[in-house]
Amino acid sequence: MPVLISSPGKIWLSVAPADLRRGIDGLSAQVALTLGQKPCEGSAFVFRNAAGNRNPASHPGQISTGMGG
């Protein structure tokens, strides 16, 4: 399995559920609006769905569609 996050500056974990149907553009906008962070500047962002059984991770240039649960 390839490494999705080789060496991010920070890892941000979302405690609130995110609507994962928004895709990478919508989740990137959520990062910018909620955290005031630029999603492509070296940090990793981990989101969860309402049921808590899907946790995609976003890193510059890469996104997972579901990492375990």
Mean pLDDT of 14-42: 86
What does pTM read for this prediction? 0.60
pLDDT number for residue 57: 59
DSSP string of 16-50, one letter each residue: S---GGGHHHHHHHHIIIII---TTSS-EEE---T
| pLDDT above 50 for 61 | no
| pLDDT above 70 for 64 | no
Q: Where are the domains of the chain?
A: 11-63
